[in-house]
């Protein structure tokens, strides 16, 4: 991606400028959490959402899958990758969890998460909970060691003491309590792209 103000090009995974006048200025974008979902599922959770129109004024067809459908359905990659990794197909999607230390990055196979809708792990010393819906949406939260046993794969998680917690995009909120756990920065990525940027990443599959 690039910014129009300086025409600097940015790494989408590192959040830093890599070409242009902003390189070396110590600029780094804040990491945010992203969830990959369908419009229908998102609208159920957020019925007042505004969505961008596909009527852009340009002739390009922006419907889902039109531009890169054949590419996404193959294992071929159009970019050079300095490795041969067979642990996952190149374009298998992983949930990417990263910290300020690139060596602490973690990638979790999304197929694994579908079979483990409540999954807890340590990432650079942080206790992280990943909740995955039946449709494959994954959200991660920093839980300070709190253990969770189950969730309804919609909006309610249950901890080891039977206490209820409500899920939203910003936090995991304990019912009838001010206690909450924040989202942990995460997003889905193609395995080959994530590995190329974070070769020391831990893979969970």
What pLDDT, on a 0 to 100 scale, did the predictor assign at position 77? 86
Whether residues 25 and 41 fall in one domain: no
Is residue 131 located within the same domain as residue 53? Answer: yes
* pLDDT for res 128: 97
Are the C-beta atoms of residues 172 and 129 closer than 8 Å to each other?
Answer: yes
Integer-rounded Cα radius of gyration of the chain: 19
Q: Is the dihedral of CA 150, 181, 185, 5 positive or negative?
A: positive
What are the pLDDT tens digits along the chain (205 aa)? 889 999 999 998 888 999 999 999 999 998 889 999 998 999 999 999 998 888 888 888 877 778 788 888 888 888 777 777 889 999 999 999 988 888 899 999 999 999 999 999 999 999 999 999 999 999 999 999 999 999 999 999 999 999 999 999 999 999 999 999 999 999 999 999 999 999 999 999 9
Concatenating the DSSP letter of every residue in 79-102 gives S--S----SS-TT-EEEEE--SSG
- Give the contacts of 170 (CB within 8 A, at least 6 positions apart): 182, 183
Whole-angstrom distance, CA of residue 36 vs CA of residue 137: 6
Q: Are residues 22 and 52 in the same domain?
A: no
136 and 78 in a common domain: yes
Is the four-CA dihedral 67, 34, 195, 26 of positive or negative sign? positive
What was the pLDDT predicted at 35? 94
Q: How far apart, in whole angstroms, are the C-alpha atoms of residue 202 and residue 88? A: 13
Query: Are the beta carbons of 159 and 151 closer than 8 angstroms?
Result: no
| CA 116 vs CA 119, 144, 198, 204: distances in Å | 6, 20, 24, 12
Tell me how many helices (H) and strands (E) the chain has: 4, 14
Residues 47 and 6 in one domain: no
- How many angstroms separate the CA atoms of 43 and 46, rounded? 5
**Residue 107 and residue 21 share a domain:** no
- Do 3 and 39 reside in the same domain of the chain? no
Q: How many domains does the chain have?
A: 2
Do 81 and 176 share a structural domain?
yes
**In a shared domain, residues 94 and 176:** yes
Q: Do 73 and 18 fall within a single domain?
A: no
Domain residues for 22? 1-30
- The verdict on 199 and 125 lying in the same domain is yes
Quick one: 63 and 3 in the same domain?
Answer: no
């Amino acid at each position: 991606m690039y910014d129009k103000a300086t025409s600097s090009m940015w790494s989408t995974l590192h959040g830093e400028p890599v070409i242009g006048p902003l390189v070396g200025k110590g600029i780094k974008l804040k990491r945010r959490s992203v969830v990959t979902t369908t419009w229908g599922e998102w609208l159920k959770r957020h019925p007042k959402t505004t969505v961008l129109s596909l009527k852009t004024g340009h002739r390009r067809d922006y419907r889902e899958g039109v531009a890169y459908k054949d590419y996404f359905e193959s294992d071929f990659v159009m970019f050079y990758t300095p490795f041969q990794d067979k642990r996952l197909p190149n374009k298998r999607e992983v949930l990417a969890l990263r910290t300020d230390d690139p060596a602490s990055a973690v990638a979790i196979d999304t197929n694994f998460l579908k079979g483990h809708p409540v999954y807890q792990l340590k990432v650079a010393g942080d206790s992280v909970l990943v909740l995955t819906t039946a449709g494959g949406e994954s959200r991660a939260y920093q839980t300070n060691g709190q253990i969770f046993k189950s969730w309804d794969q919609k909006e309610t998680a249950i901890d080891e003491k039977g206490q209820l917690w409500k899920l939203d995009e910003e936090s995991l909120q304990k019912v009838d309590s001010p206690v909450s756990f924040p989202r942990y920065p995460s997003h889905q990525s193609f395995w080959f792209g994530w590995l190329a940027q974070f070769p020391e990443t831990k893979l969970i599959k």
